[in-house]
């Protein structure tokens, strides 16, 4: 049995409202959505966590950020929608400001909604694919990840995107509670 995540009452209501708003969007709409998320992969079974301490109001050095991300460089043009959750990295002032001027269409999924983001399944597929593969250094580990990523078929990603109407209907049926997705 899969463990379900907790969703508080306020976020259940937001999930339900989002699902009702977007449930009738067609395949063409969902095919233009760039789903975003992050996942952490660890070499040698480490949890990979690092904590960085800094004084309040001390800025992160600009050299820590990449400025070369653009729709044009990704070959997307301007006809896309960028999906994001409410992760603090996405709601930070600088991020919101950058998105405002560089990303024409945005889709904000409600908090506590991993079941409404098909990329979560991609992470699981990738994790399962690399399980048991051994790397002796970081370069090998990156190579394993890249090869596993390339093994994910376009048909698989299409099926995940095509699942959006079903995912949203499941949220509606569950009255905002977590779903099987």
Greater confidence (53 vs 150) lies with 150
The pLDDT confidence band at residue 92, using thresholds 50, 70 and 90, is: confident
pTM confidence score: 0.77
pLDDT (mean) for 162-172: 97
Which domains are assigned to the chain?
9-37+72-173 (3.30.420.10)
Let me know: does 11 contact 110? Beta carbons within 8 Å: yes
Q: What average pLDDT score do residues 59-85 get? A: 67
Per-residue confidence (pLDDT) for residue 58, from 0 to 100: 58
Lowest mean pLDDT among 2-16, 51-65, 81-95, 159-173: 51-65
Lowest mean pLDDT among 15-24, 38-47, 111-120: 38-47
Q: What percent of the chain has pLDDT over 70?
A: 79
- Is residue 66 within 8 A of residue 150, CB to CB? The reply is no
Q: Is residue 101 scored above 90 in pLDDT?
A: no
Helices in 23-153 by DSSP H: which ranges? 27-31, 88-91, 93-102, 119-130, 138-150
pLDDT bucket at 6, cuts 50 / 70 / 90? confident
Rg of the chain over all Cα atoms, to the nearest angstrom = 18
């Amino acid at each position: 049995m899969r463990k379900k995540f907790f969703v508080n009452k306020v976020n259940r209501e937001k999930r339900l409202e989002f699902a009702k708003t977007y449930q009738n969007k067609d395949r063409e709409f969902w095919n233009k959505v760039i789903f975003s998320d992050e996942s952490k992969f660890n070499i040698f079974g480490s949890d990979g966590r690092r904590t960085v301490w800094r004084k309040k109001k001390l800025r992160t050095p600009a050299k820590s950020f990449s400025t070369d991300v653009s729709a044009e460089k990704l070959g997307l043009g301007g006809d896309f929608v960028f999906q994001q959750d409410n992760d603090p990295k996405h709601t930070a002032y600088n991020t919101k400001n950058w998105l405002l001027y560089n990303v024409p269409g945005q889709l904000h999924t409600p908090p506590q909604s991993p079941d409404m983001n098909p990329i979560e399944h991609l992470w699981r597929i990738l994790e399962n694919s690399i399980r048991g593969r051994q790397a002796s250094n970081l370069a090998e580990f990156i190579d394993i990840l890249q090869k596993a990523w390339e093994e994910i078929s376009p048909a698989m990603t299409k099926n995940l995107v095509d699942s959006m109407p079903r995912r949203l209907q499941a949220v509606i049926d569950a009255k905002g509670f977590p779903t099987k997705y």
